[in-house]
Structure 1
Amino acid sequence: MQKELRQHFNDNFSQEKYAAYLQEIENLHPGTLEFRIAETPIFIPKDFTQKMLDACEDIVDVLVQPGFKALTEKAIPIDAIEGGEKDHPEFIVFDFGICENSTGALEPQLIEMQGFPTLFAFQAFHTAISKLYAEVPNTYDAYLNGYTETTYLQLLQEIIVSDCNRENVILLEIYPEHQKTRIDFYCTEDLLGIKTVCLTKLIGEGNQLFYEADGKKIPVKKIYNRLIFDDLHQQNFTDKIIDITRPWDVEWIPHPNWFYRISKYTLPLIDNPYVPPTFYLKDLEETPADLENYVLKPLFSFAGMGVLIDVTKEDIIKITDPENWILQRKVKYADVIETPDQPAKAEIRLFYFWKKEWARPIAVHNLARLSKGKMIGTRYNKDKNWVGGTVAFFER
């Protein structure tokens, strides 16, 4: 997006440099990097960054209003976690596409948001490696609101661990060793000194949770939750697992209910020029005549699963559970990142952290993704180059 930096990077790119860059990332935890790392970071001008941040502030205004929980109560499944929900989530992420408007100008458009963590630890390492690899000038930074790598990691530690004994804090996933994002789990262990524990390994006694380490049974006081319960419900387990939905005496970070509350479910509540008009399918009185300009999305899914891009009236008629779907105005991703063959599209995920004593969350960091397919995501970018996970560096 910044022509001089893009030109400088592209002119100085080589496969040898990229291979060395990948090897450095792979060396963080050999054999655990299972998603593609893009050849280039993204360079974002000030005005574009400010538009994203302003849109996020409008969204946060909705999240902090007194009636927000009442507005999103129907988002919570019947078989959700009992008890322990706090007034707000500790983490929120906002995904913005770099899009073209009707005049051809570039603007951010919100694609999705989640009251759920992402690759917070890995991205600290990834950013440091990328900054050296791409020779990013000091006038650009991946961190926001004055945060640095040091203060960002300190904040992450304060939110997840705080004054708790580290052995009593766990990162929870299901079969973490098989997850494509597992490199982040191990980076989290490195940075925070906590254990990654599989749901199948949790032990329940009374209202207490435990895990075993070195032959000892360790009490669990805090759960840094990386388990997507929507996905969990669709799996068949050969291992016995405890009923995690019971009101266990643990602190959830964040509580799983926020995965549902701050999600696609929230999009129809937002009014901002950088948030595409979105409607609950159940409330749609009349099907838009220009359906080709809309996308149909299931409310509770992830990684683009179930999304219908080319929507027809027949598709809508077939929906038997309209309460679980939204219709969203399409956005036009811009072919904005120049690459050796065809330009790539880009999406930026802003990290917002929310300490207990803060009235509002704060933007602190990011990750980005490049795509040459119909959508952002691995399944749409097979056998393509200059696509995958990366970092956005913002003009200061």
Structure 2
Amino acid sequence: MIPELRREFNASFNERSYQRFRERLDHRCRSPIPFRIAETPLFVPRTFQRQCEEAAVALALQSHSPHYLTASDAALKPEYTVANQTDRSTFLTVDFAIAVDEFGTMVPRLIELQGFPSLMGFQLAYAELALEHYALPPALEYVNGGHSRAEFVALLRDAIVADADPENVVLLELDPWAQKTRADFTMIQELLGIEVADIRAVKKIDRVLHYERDGTWIPIQRIYNRTIVDELERRNIELPFNWNDDLDVEWAGHPNWYFRISKFALPFLQHPTVPDTRFLSAVDEIPDDLDNYVLKPLYSFAGAGVIVGPTREDVSSVAPDRRDLYVLQQRVRYADAIDTPEGPTKAELRVMLIWHPKEDAPRPVMGLVRMGRGRLMGVDQNTKQRWIGAGCNFYEPDV
């Protein structure tokens, strides 16, 4: 998107350097990256980066309005509703398509948002290595919000560790070292010195959860929650505690926000970046031009269950008692945002936000890019093509 940087990068690209970058990234993260790493970063004009960041903050604020919070009570599942909900989501992610408007201008268009953390540690390591390995202009920025690296790490530490001893702070996930996101867990461990534990392996003693290290059960004061409830349900996992338990613990990323700020929010949001979205239960008549729509389940991850351009049968086959668990969203037309030696590539840009309890608005802190040429943009799609996959975004500094 910055033409001169794109031309320079493409002209200097060679396969050996790319493969060496992959090897170095695996080494940096201390395990093979299990998803496809794109051949290129995304070079973003400062104005477009600012548009995405400002829109992400505006949408985050809308999703905390009193009206929406009352409506989002319906998104909570009783069996997964956790006590002592915080007054805001500590972490949010907002995904934008790089789209094209009726004037041919590239614009951000909302795909979805989630009250849940993303790959903040991994993306920091990825961007730093890409900047050095590809000898990119050192003035390019990759931490969002105009923050320095030190400021980003301090914000991350304050959100996850706060004033606790890192020994008593745990990243909880199901089978953490088998997850595709394990590289992020390694980087978070390195940055903050906290423990990573399998959610099935904790022990509840009275009202306190504990994790085991070297034969000793250590009390957990704060939980950096990375557990996806959908996976627990799909695998029928039994936990050593109930989500409804009155636990003596602080949540760094309270679990309720995963449900409250999700695709459920899409029909409520009013912003120029938001495509028309309705609950399927509110669709009285199926549109004739379904190729211009996307059918999405409310609670899924990594694009599972999403149908781009659904058929009438796809829509009508959703049982009436489950239609409130789906949205029908106007399809976003992606721009050919990235010129590559193998043809144009489309992209989505994720803005990750951290919201401190004493601040009036969340802060953009880190970005993530998905590139692809298929109908879906997740890392599980487009895996056999080139110049697609996971990437990082660099943007121009303020002059």
Q: TM-score range by the shorter chain?
A: over 0.9
- Displacement of 1:259 in angstroms is 0.7
Secondary structure, aligned partner of 1:378: coil
Pair 1:335-2:342 in alignment: no
- Displacement of 1:59 in angstroms is 1.2
The separation in 2 between residues aligned to 1:82 and 1:374, in whole angstroms, is 36
Gaps of 5+ in 1: none
> Partner of 1:21 in structure 2?
21
Secondary structure, aligned partner of 1:255: coil
Q: 1:241-256 to 2 correspondence within 5 Å?
A: 241-256=240-255
- Displacement of 1:157 in angstroms is 0.6
The separation in 1 between residues aligned to 2:49 and 2:16, in whole angstroms, is 32
Whether contact under 8 Å (2:200, 2:239) holds in the other structure is yes
Q: 1:165-314 to 2 correspondence within 5 Å?
A: 165-237=165-237, 241-314=240-313
- Displacement of 1:151 in angstroms is 1.1
- Displacement of 1:240 in angstroms is 6.3
Runs of 4+ in 1 over 6 A off after TM superposition: none
Whether contact under 8 Å (2:371, 2:389) holds in the other structure is yes
Cα RMSD between the aligned structures? 1.6
Gaps of 5+ in 2: none
- Displacement of 1:370 in angstroms is 1.1
Q: Which moved more, 1:76-85 or 1:132-141?
A: 132-141
The separation in 2 between residues aligned to 1:32 and 1:176, in whole angstroms, is 14
Q: Report sequence identity in percent.
A: 36
- Displacement of 1:241 in angstroms is 3.6
> Partner of 1:318 in structure 2?
317
> Partner of 2:391 in structure 1?
390
The separation in 2 between residues aligned to 1:28 and 1:380, in whole angstroms, is 25
Deviations 1:305-352 (A, max 9, x none): 111112223222211110100000001112221112122111111011
**Normalising by the residue count of structure 1, what TM-score does the alignment of the two structures yield?**
0.96
Pair 1:5-2:5 in alignment: yes
> Between Structure 1 and Structure 2, how many residues are aligned?
395
Letter in 2 for 1:313: R
> Partner of 1:141 in structure 2?
141
The separation in 1 between residues aligned to 2:81 and 2:201, in whole angstroms, is 18
Secondary structure, aligned partner of 1:5: helix
Deviations 1:225-265 (A, max 9, x none): 0001122111134x764334422111111111101111111
Whether contact under 8 Å (1:55, 1:275) holds in the other structure is no
The separation in 2 between residues aligned to 1:154 and 1:32, in whole angstroms, is 28
Q: 1:10-159 to 2 correspondence within 5 Å?
A: 10-159=10-159
Letter in 2 for 1:339: T
Whether contact under 8 Å (2:82, 2:256) holds in the other structure is no
Cα distance, 1:56–1:82 mapped onto 2, change above 3 Å: closer
Whether contact under 8 Å (1:278, 1:327) holds in the other structure is yes
The separation in 1 between residues aligned to 2:244 and 2:126, in whole angstroms, is 34
**Normalising by the residue count of structure 2, what TM-score does the alignment of the two structures yield?**
0.95
Secondary structure, aligned partner of 1:71: helix
